[in-house]
Amino acid sequence: MKSSVSVMTVALVVLVAACSAVACRVCLKICPKGSQAKEIQDNGRTVCRCVDICKEKDCLPQEKCVLMTVQCFRAPCPPIATCVPCPKPMCPKVCPKGTFQTEVQENGCTVCKCINPCQEKQCQPQEKCVLQTVVCVRAPCPPIATCVPTCPSRACPKICPEGTFRTEVQENGCTVCKCVNPCKEKHCLPQEKCVLKKVYCKRLPCPPIAVCVPTCPSPVCPKICPKGTFQTEVQENGCTVCKCVNPCQEKHCLPQEKCVLTTVQCLRAPCPPIATCVPM
């Protein structure tokens, strides 16, 4: 009995040594659909990995790799990578986004896609891309990508009650026409104000001009001042007025003297009296 066990042990050792010498392995890893268990070298070691067999298959242009199911005498029966012709791309007649273009996918087959041509159209600032319908001899007639202004064209009206029209660029980049009062940018001197003066021109519209005019009337002094004499005085509003002032208010007399107004004669009226100190 011992001799038979020894013989079997020796035979098993010899078989394992022989299989190791010829790399006798069976890769029985379960792989998902589309891949196959295969022994590959990884850092000097032989490992069993699931490999996409179509990636190692070289097909001709306009062909794609598919997995063909096969029948074998003993399971497992892995599919075989086979090159088959790609289906001919058929573009429908209507493309709501724009036009049809062919595109080669990763599997090497050409497909028909509906592409908006505005995606590759470069427009200038204040412009946008729109699809313009065209007329052709034979359908389909794909639209053409065209750049059009994003801002509406607005003409300035003829009448501007505030002053004159000016163009102004808004935040959205569009230019608009605004009625502007030119007096807002006119700098006048003190005691002046800005007014709009009408002008005459050869061609309409004739916008008014901003002009600075005095804000205060010219002070006019009456001929008679019963208190004494007239003097000009600047008020709080900046305007100059004419006031009848008694010159004795600013006259300093000695003790036992008083100030009186003495009438004088002059060549041209009015002839204001003079403040004079006289004994009391």
The full DSSP string for 91-158 is --S--TTSEEEEEE-TTS-EEEEEE-GGGG----TTEEEEEEP---SSS----EEEEEESS---PPPS
- Tell me, yes or no, whether 135 and 183 share the same domain: no
Which two tokens mark 226? Answer: 């019963």
Specify the number of domains making up the chain: 4
- Tell me, yes or no, whether 59 and 108 share the same domain: no
Does residue 13 sit within a domain?
yes
Does residue 31 sit within a domain?
yes
Does residue 75 sit within a domain?
yes
Residue ranges making up the domain that contains 23: 2-85
- Give how far the C-alpha of residue 245 lies from the chain's centroid of Cα atoms, to the nearest Å: 69
Does residue 221 sit within a domain?
no
Which two tokens mark 58? Answer: 């070289």
Q: What is the model's pLDDT at position 63?
A: 85
Write out pLDDT tens, residues 100-129. 777 888 777 888 888 888 888 888 877 888
Q: What is the model's pLDDT at position 139?
A: 74
Between 84 and 49, the higher pLDDT residue: 84
Write out pLDDT tens, residues 243-257. 888 888 888 999 899
Question: Among 36-50, 118-132, 187-201, where is mean pLDDT lowest?
Answer: 36-50
Q: Which of 107, 123, 149 is the last residue of a domain?
A: 149
- Tell me, yes or no, whether 119 and 80 share the same domain: no
Does residue 92 sit within a domain?
no
- Tell me, yes or no, whether 143 and 174 share the same domain: no
Q: What is the model's pLDDT at position 28?
A: 63
Does residue 176 sit within a domain?
yes
Does residue 54 sit within a domain?
yes
Residues 193, 215 contacting (CB under 8 angstroms):
yes
Q: What is the model's pLDDT at position 26?
A: 54
Write out pLDDT tens, residues 140-181. 778 888 998 877 776 777 777 777 888 887 776 677 888 888
- Tell me, yes or no, whether 122 and 77 share the same domain: no
Q: What is the pTM of this model?
A: 0.31
Please name which of 266, 227, 234 lies closest in space to residue 250, comparing C-alpha atoms: 227
- Tell me, yes or no, whether 63 and 120 share the same domain: no
